[in-house]
Structure 1
Amino acid sequence: MMLGAAIVVGLLSRSVLAEAPPNVVFILADDLGWSDTTLFDTTDLYRTPNIERLAERGMTFTRAYSASPLCSPTRASILTGLSPARHGITSPNCHLPTVTLTAKATESAPPNQKATIPTSVSRLNVNYYTLAEMLRDHGYATGHFGKWHLGAEPYSPLEHGFDVDVPHHPGPGPAGSYVAPWKFKDFDHDPDIPDEHLEDRMAEEAVTFMETHQDKPFFLNYWMFSVHAPFDAKAALVDKYRNRINQDDPQRSPTYAAMIESMDDAVGTLLDTLDRLNLAENTIIIFASDNGGNMYNEVDGTTPTSNTPLRGGKATMYEGGVRGPAVVAYPGHVEPGSRSDEIIQSCDFYPTLLDLLQIQAQPSQEFDGISIVPALQGQSLTREAIFTYFPHAPRVPDWLPPAVSVIAGDWKLIRTFYGGDAGTHQYQLFNLETDIGEQHDLAEQFPDRVQDLDRLIEEFLSDTHAVVPLPNPRFDVSQYHPELIGKGNHKSSGNQKRTQNRVPAKPVAGWLPGGTCELSHEADSLVVKSSGGDPHLSYKLPNALPGEKLTVSFTMTSTAAGPGQVFWQEQGVAPAFFRERSKTFDVRHDSQPHQYRVVLTVHHPVLAIRIDPATAAGRITLSNVAVTTEGTEISLFPPRNEDAGVEHRKQ
């Protein structure tokens, strides 16, 4: 194993342990960002008094990292103590029907991508000796409540060491909604509470479990559905926060604020129960999040949340995607109300609990995490670095192609696989002490540090036997648009310059093709020939369009498949083209013409529009493309004014 990977045991003497083994309560929030609680003075909108109450009982970690910027990989890491690079679940695909137990390299990718994307494992293999199995084998009652997302039977919680699993749901989030009626297969809401909230019910189920097992040690694994999509909440709470919204605050969704409060209420219910049963003094509580806050869906005309001052969010490799709140409480062992700036990660919780409980790991068992007991005792951790492996490229704000990162002290290096010139990797280097928002790439300034940190990355990938991306043999430089990636300021190692001979795509009737498509003009139609993956076409408006509502309308005929998406660029919002705003719409791919109207909620004048008509290969035609705002319709195709390329018509 790499430096610091061996489990640390025996740091606490048995004399300091309570006579009865302590209970363990693990609370994992879903998509809860670093700025989504009141722990770090980063929000004026959200209210989390119960999480603050928990923090008063234990230690708050200011630098707590999820193992992945998406949920399933992190969940598998918590239960195994292993990195996603080792257990192979690198994507949240565990609800899909295909069962894959071994990660596999992919030989090719669409021509606009420089690297291939490996196939992720899609189930948590029962061969792993999970934390739940370890505790059950040492006399603990084990119960899982809430989200799982690591596989249905025979890979459900019941096959991984849990005696109880409620609601026994393999999906990626709540079934239908948070407010009843729900759509779980075998879990109904209370008929006496027609608008019952799912998190209230989950907390009640957890209370019953604790009451049932209060006379023996228990492991309560409470993995919240909150605050993952879908975005709905108690109507009274939404109304409460609607009156508190500041439109200048990046956190301005009353629905999401209401969801935060219900999540916090559930934490309070668990704390109240432990107090009532006189169990709080002999219970270890861990609170954490599975990844950063969601900044790319839309709710209440805005994004669900903002991770400011961190950059990016869920599904990105930047701090906003992997850094979150974390609290560990254990009366008599962790100083109440304390804080630690030590770096911890999801892989650490398994070996830490074994250390606290004085349980030895199995003879052949290894961990990629370490025990953080020294940090809980106010000391420093002796680890060289932590790593995040995410070989995927979801198109969200601040997205990156397949990448891996290392954090060593205050330095963070992101390697984008084969993102540089001539098959080289691409690097971004940040000093998190002086640049927590990751706005200043120092890779060119400190090439030796890039080299040293990249050596750690290479050792990590080798040690974990990671299945890594490969150079894409189908890569076509003419279809590559680096301006669509992050801020477009990524530098290659060794100060290599970006190639200057890339042939740009040519506009067709003012529309610029991009991604995996070719664009032509036939009669009164734009013709998109897609090879699958990421076909899109964009239009730069001659003048910025003001207004709060903007409607993009068009007629489209398609033989391809997959959802459509409209992106737009707002003035002064982001330097990268089409990075922050998008709206998905359903498409009928039946070779028949259909009219579409996509309503966008905007906050600044709009500079450009992009249409992603599908995700699969096929032929697509578009006509009568127009934008309407504040009673004015602007024709984007066909052009009716040869000089300006648009026609303005009052409605």
Structure 2
Amino acid sequence: MTNMSQIRRRAMRPDSFVASTFLALALISLFGASAPAVAESKPNVVLILADDLGWSDTSLFGTTKFYRTPNIERLAERGMTFTRAYSASPLCSPTRASILTGLNPARTGITTPNCHLPQVTMQAKSTASGAPSQKSTIPSSVSRLDTSYYTLAEMFKDNGYVTGHFGKWHLGPEPYSPLEHGFDVDLPHHAGPGPAGSYVAPWKFRDFDHDPDVPDQHIEDRMAEEAVAFLEKHKSEPFFLNYWMFSVHAPFDAKQSLIEQYRNQVDPSDPQRSPTYAAMIESMDDAVGTLLDKLDEMGVANNTIIVFASDNGGNMYNEVDGTTATSNAPLRGGKATMYEGGVRGPAIVAFPGHVQAGSRSNQIIQSCDFYPSLLNLLRIEPQPAQHFDGISFVPALKGQPLDREAIFTYFPHSPGVPDWLPPSVSVHRGDWKLIRIFHGGENGQHRWKLFNVGDDLGEQQNLASRYPERVQSMDAMIEAFLVDTQAVLPLPNPNFDPAKYDPQAEGKGRLKGSSKPAAKKPVASMKPVAGWIPAGTCELEIENGSMLINSTGGDPYLSYKLPESVSTEPLILRFSLTSNSSGHGQVFWQEQDVAPAFFRDRSVRFDVRHDQESHDYVVEFSPANPVVAVRIDPSRGPGKMWLSKIKLTDANGMLLHQWDF
């Protein structure tokens, strides 16, 4: 993808460092070597990004009695807390790319967190058709952060900073790792979407082991230790520490002692009642405290800019301790949704002497603002041709209003979670928020949801019909944004079948047909084939090295009990499928010590191409407990399907189980 926002990192290095060096030499020549310094030392920068930390997951806003975050409060006392801080996406990789480039996901093309998967896609593409239950198609996402972008880390490096990345990356393995994007150090050098295996050792990182003297070491404790060692090593030079926490993303586990402490404090009537999640938040907060302690000890806290934020909203939908992980109340929705709970989170900026301690701002900021804001704070000019979708929010840090017309969130996907929406784009303008649902209306037209989040924080009243002129003007802004970013858009779906779409489920529950299976024959009465048990509306047989699935329509599926449980996270099921059926597919999994109940709601949906050609599919899922069985729902309609080359791997491609027919 070529546009003005892509700055070739070697062809267009900034001149500021060279210019400042030349100026210093000139001053020495003019005034003598003993001349006083003309400028104070460069400020250090620490950027802390939490993973899946919701707006109500800290004690900053008075929305929780259960979680304890004293160190995040301590950081807030040193700087400014933003009450309206938005991620660029309701999912992680798009937001991470926006932080490093200052660009919106609509422009980078990274719109979903697929950057750990083997397939390398460098150009987003439209999709011609979709499942019959979808009114619009879903574009394919870019799967790697292109090294042609001049990243935040490269900017720091070229201006005399030592750069270190610690924790989660999720923007691609080599040759797209942090080491290729401007970082001198990268630990644990892991391309996966979460911690390898677990938070508490033993871990399963390829080249990063826990401290043998601490057998149950927490990954966040270790990352904080590595980060402060980096700070100590480089205390005599300006540093950029990029600490992207694994916390508090799934899998859900924590120090057992902390879990037990919180277990005794659970209020069953409180929507935030998972002791495991509360323990995870405490370990995250401890890591923030470790960094603050080291900066104080080194005596550099007053010359250090600290930015703290989250990559998207809190995860309300995965189950842990028999309940949802957390609640974003009073916001609506959570991670993977376009409502406030999916994109609004805590954010703090501290810079002693420049930002008023203990202050708050209700100005709207977004993750693509961090790059231009840091340039402004450091008085570094951007590249001559460098473009940002974000703006500098330095005026807000000085207590002034921002000269900002709007922010945009582009999410052309439709994860099957509660509070789901079809592929959408939104604009925030002051208290007004408009969501455009692509082709969600009649005859392929768009549909809109309009909210005043100042009066209706929970987004319960759709005001689109009451204010049609406002809808029109804000949708015109959306259209201009999509044109400017050259966004690859969803298209009207020629396969749409109104009978398979449930408008009443939108924004409330899962997509129609994705959670409750249709009536099925008892599993015990079905004949297994190669260990796979058919059920629902299908029968199995082996044909030419493939599993032939004969479906009479409705809900065909087949399941397999693994010979031993698999405890890594995430897992990836890979297979080839040829189909002349119809409808979407799903992969379900059963977790250890969890009743099957048709595998409950542990599922991931995938689109199937029913063109009688063989296609390869890669389906990722993130279990909370060891997996003991998997299930494949290859379609929704009648017909024949041939399944082959089935493999279960971890995120690094390591083979865990393989099926041969």
Query: Shared topology, TM-score over 0.5?
Result: yes
Distance 2:550 2:466 in 1: 40
Which residue does the alignment assign to 1:251?
272
Maintained 8 Å contact 1:531/1:618:
no
In the TM superposition, residue 620 of structure 1 has moved relative to its aligned partner by 9.6
Maintained 8 Å contact 2:76/2:348:
yes
Which residue does the alignment assign to 2:329?
308
- In the superposition, relative to structure 1, how do residues 425 and 618 fare at CA in structure 2: closer, same or farther (>3 Å)? closer
> Which residues in structure 2 correspond to 1:280-429 (within 5 Å)?
280-429=301-450
- In the superposition, relative to structure 1, how do residues 215 and 70 fare at CA in structure 2: closer, same or farther (>3 Å)? same
Distance 2:43 2:550 in 1: 57
Which residue does the alignment assign to 2:601?
582
Distance 1:483 1:256 in 2: 31
Question: What do the CA deviations read for 1:194-250 (whole angstroms, capped 9, x no partner)?
Answer: 000000000000001000110010000000000001100001100000000000000
Maintained 8 Å contact 1:527/1:619:
no
Maintained 8 Å contact 1:148/1:171:
yes
Counterpart pick for 1:73 among 75, 94, 114: 94
Maintained 8 Å contact 1:25/1:219:
yes
Matching residue's letter, 1:138? N
Distance 1:397 1:294 in 2: 11
- 3-state DSSP of counterpart to 2:331: coil
Which residue does the alignment assign to 1:114?
135
Distance 2:323 2:634 in 1: 29
Maintained 8 Å contact 1:419/1:426:
yes
> Which residues in structure 2 correspond to 1:260-279 (within 5 Å)?
260-279=281-300
Which residue does the alignment assign to 1:483?
504
Counterpart pick for 1:617 among 615, 618, 635: 635
In the TM superposition, residue 535 of structure 1 has moved relative to its aligned partner by 7.3
In the TM superposition, residue 374 of structure 1 has moved relative to its aligned partner by 0.1
Distance 2:365 2:359 in 1: 15
Question: What do the CA deviations read for 1:124-157 (whole angstroms, capped 9, x no partner)?
Answer: 0000000000010000000000000000000000
Maintained 8 Å contact 2:555/2:633:
no
Q: Structure 1 runs of 4+ off > 3 angstroms?
A: 507-511, 528-532, 534-537, 558-562, 583-586, 612-615, 617-621
- 3-state DSSP of counterpart to 1:466: coil
Counterpart pick for 2:180 among 159, 174, 180: 159
Which residue does the alignment assign to 1:142?
163
Maintained 8 Å contact 2:537/2:555:
no
Which residue does the alignment assign to 1:26?
47
Q: Does 1:466 pair with 2:487?
A: yes
Q: Does 1:527 pair with 2:512?
A: no
Maintained 8 Å contact 1:559/1:619:
no
- In the superposition, relative to structure 1, how do residues 508 and 35 fare at CA in structure 2: closer, same or farther (>3 Å)? closer
Question: What do the CA deviations read for 1:367-423 (whole angstroms, capped 9, x no partner)?
Answer: 000000000000000010000000000011101110000000000000110011111
In the TM superposition, residue 268 of structure 1 has moved relative to its aligned partner by 0.1
Give the alignment's Cα RMSD to 1 decimal: 3.1
Which residue does the alignment assign to 2:214?
193
Distance 1:184 1:243 in 2: 33
- 3-state DSSP of counterpart to 1:582: coil
Matching residue's letter, 1:238? I
> Which residues in structure 2 correspond to 1:3-18 (within 5 Å)?
none
Distance 2:216 2:587 in 1: 31
Maintained 8 Å contact 1:559/1:620:
no
Matching residue's letter, 1:288? A
In the TM superposition, residue 111 of structure 1 has moved relative to its aligned partner by 1.2
Distance 2:315 2:248 in 1: 9
Counterpart pick for 1:228 among 233, 249, 254: 249
Matching residue's letter, 1:582? D
In the TM superposition, residue 562 of structure 1 has moved relative to its aligned partner by 5.0
- In the superposition, relative to structure 1, how do residues 364 and 282 fare at CA in structure 2: closer, same or farther (>3 Å)? same
Matching residue's letter, 2:207? D
The count of aligned residue pairs is 524
Maintained 8 Å contact 2:49/2:310:
yes
Distance 2:51 2:265 in 1: 24
Question: What do the CA deviations read for 1:320-343 (whole angstroms, capped 9, x no partner)?
Answer: 000000000000000000000000
What stretches of structure 1 of length at least 5 have no aligned partner? 489-503, 512-523, 538-557, 567-580, 587-611, 622-651
Distance 1:398 1:565 in 2: 22
- 3-state DSSP of counterpart to 2:293: helix
Distance 1:509 1:246 in 2: 36
In the TM superposition, residue 509 of structure 1 has moved relative to its aligned partner by 8.9
Distance 1:253 1:247 in 2: 10
Matching residue's letter, 1:564? F
In the TM superposition, residue 482 of structure 1 has moved relative to its aligned partner by 1.6
Q: Does 1:564 pair with 2:588?
A: yes
Distance 2:169 2:253 in 1: 20
- 3-state DSSP of counterpart to 1:482: coil
In the TM superposition, residue 527 of structure 1 has moved relative to its aligned partner by 1.4
- In the superposition, relative to structure 1, how do residues 288 and 96 fare at CA in structure 2: closer, same or farther (>3 Å)? same
Which residue does the alignment assign to 1:211?
232
- 3-state DSSP of counterpart to 1:63: strand
Distance 1:181 1:508 in 2: 38
In the TM superposition, residue 271 of structure 1 has moved relative to its aligned partner by 0.1
Distance 1:173 1:51 in 2: 22
In the TM superposition, residue 112 of structure 1 has moved relative to its aligned partner by 1.2
Distance 1:79 1:565 in 2: 35
In the TM superposition, residue 582 of structure 1 has moved relative to its aligned partner by 2.7
- 3-state DSSP of counterpart to 1:209: helix
Distance 2:472 2:38 in 1: 45
In the TM superposition, residue 478 of structure 1 has moved relative to its aligned partner by 1.9
In the TM superposition, residue 528 of structure 1 has moved relative to its aligned partner by 5.9
Distance 1:298 1:126 in 2: 37
- In the superposition, relative to structure 1, how do residues 585 and 97 fare at CA in structure 2: closer, same or farther (>3 Å)? closer
Distance 2:452 2:358 in 1: 28
Distance 2:367 2:38 in 1: 24
What stretches of structure 2 of length at least 5 have no aligned partner? 6-15, 17-22, 24-36, 521-533, 540-548, 557-576, 580-584, 591-599, 606-629, 640-661
In the TM superposition, residue 68 of structure 1 has moved relative to its aligned partner by 0.2
Maintained 8 Å contact 1:531/1:617:
no
Matching residue's letter, 1:158? L
- 3-state DSSP of counterpart to 1:394: coil
Which residue does the alignment assign to 1:436?
457
Maintained 8 Å contact 1:412/1:430:
yes
- In the superposition, relative to structure 1, how do residues 617 and 193 fare at CA in structure 2: closer, same or farther (>3 Å)? same
Distance 1:613 1:230 in 2: 20
Distance 1:376 1:509 in 2: 55
Matching residue's letter, 2:587? P
- In the superposition, relative to structure 1, how do residues 269 and 417 fare at CA in structure 2: closer, same or farther (>3 Å)? same
- 3-state DSSP of counterpart to 2:496: coil
- In the superposition, relative to structure 1, how do residues 422 and 334 fare at CA in structure 2: closer, same or farther (>3 Å)? same
Question: What do the CA deviations read for 1:83-110 (whole angstroms, capped 9, x no partner)?
Answer: 0000010000000000011111111111
Aligned-pair identity in percent equals 69
Maintained 8 Å contact 2:80/2:348:
yes
**TM-score, normalization: structure 1?**
0.76
In the TM superposition, residue 525 of structure 1 has moved relative to its aligned partner by 7.4
Distance 1:390 1:468 in 2: 10
In the TM superposition, residue 564 of structure 1 has moved relative to its aligned partner by 2.3
Question: What do the CA deviations read for 1:1-55 (whole angstroms, capped 9, x no partner)?
Answer: xxxx9xxxx9xxx9x9970000000000000000000000000100000000000
